[in-house]
Amino acid sequence: MIFKQTLLIGLILLAGVSRANAQLKLPKFDAELKIQQTLVRGSGDTEGEFQFVETTNFFGGAHVQINQHIAIGAYYGRSFRGEGAFRLFDNNKIRYEILQLQKGFDIRISTSRAKNWRKYLVINYGQIEMVKVGESFRSGDKTNAFGFNLGIMRRLSNNLYLNVLELGVKIMSDTMFWLETNDTKLIMADAKMGLTYNIGKKK
């Protein structure tokens, strides 16, 4: 299953590379490295139910630029810290370390290359894995998620952009069993900041 998904994404990207190669007038690739903060809120009504789960991730991505407005690519984010709060039956909360990994592919639609500022919309689809590190055992689960982000980047040089702020949401198709929630849909909010570097030169 994972192999098929990988193959499909690989083929999409290869097609993008061929398309970009034919353009020749635009930077062909870009790579991005960002810090991502994610948050999923829960009601925490009942014992064991999560109140929130938040992680801070290293987030990387690479895109093939179809034209100056559209780029397709893939992303990968992995937490370097995270925490979740769960309700105890005495109304207090207990906190656990949370790990998160997200990966998938996305399409970035941006405004024209401008002197300074460039706005963009990213539509993404992928998979989110989260793990609760308990005292005795780890509970992990994964789900697919569809989302979009709105961002603005500032040009720093011919190749380098600063992603000043990118805000978005991901709608998770399933909940994770260890969140102990009755909610059927969960929404992950995220904010990112970082750098995007164009690889390849305008010819």
Partner 1 sequence: MWFMVRLLSFIFFAFIFSCTILEDSDITSQEELDGLQYVSVEIKQQTSSGTSTLLAKVTSEKEVNITVAGGTLTKTLYMDWPALGTNSKLKLRGGTTSAVRSYTSFLESGKPWTFYLFSSDSDSTLLELYSFRYNSSGRLSNIISRVPYVLNGPATSNDTLIYDTNGRLSGITRKYPETGTTAAFSSFEYQTTDNSYKLNQFVFQGMNYQIPCKGSGCTSTNWGGNYHVSPGTSPFSNNFPTGVMNLSTFKGENLSMQDFNDIGDRCSGGGGGSCPAWIDTFYFHPLMILKDRFSDGNDLLFIYMIDWWIPSTPQASTTNEKVTMSFNYDL
The residues that touch partner 1, with contacts defined as CB under 8 A, are 2-3, 5-6, 9-10, 13-14, 17, 21, 43, 45-48, 62, 74, 76, 78, 86-92, 94, 99-101, 103, 129, 131, 134-142, 177-178
Q: Is 110:99 a contact under the CB 8 Å cutoff?
A: no
Q: Which is nearer to partner 1, 116 or 137 (CB)?
A: 137
3-state secondary structure 172-203: ECCCCHHHCCCCCCEEEEEEEEEEEEEECCCC
Q: Which is nearer to partner 1, 130 or 153 (CB)?
A: 130
Q: Which is nearer to partner 1, 13 or 191 (CB)?
A: 13
Cβ neighbours of 62 (radius 10 Å) = 15
Q: Which is nearer to partner 1, 41 or 103 (CB)?
A: 103
Q: Which is nearer to partner 1, 95 or 113 (CB)?
A: 95
What is the nearest approach in angstroms of partner 1 to the Cβ of residue 25?
A: 17
What is the nearest approach in angstroms of partner 1 to the Cβ of residue 101?
A: 4
Alpha helices, DSSP H, located in the chain: 2-23
Q: Is 193:158 a contact under the CB 8 Å cutoff?
A: no
DSSP letter (8 states) at residue 19:
H
Cβ neighbours of 24 (radius 10 Å) = 10
In 88-137, the DSSP E strands lie at: 93-110, 117-133
What is the nearest approach in angstroms of partner 1 to the Cβ of residue 75?
A: 9
Q: Is 95 exposed, middle or buried (0-12, 13-18, 19+ CB in 10 A)?
A: exposed
Q: Which is nearer to partner 1, 75 or 120 (CB)?
A: 75
> Which tokens belong to 144?
């697919």
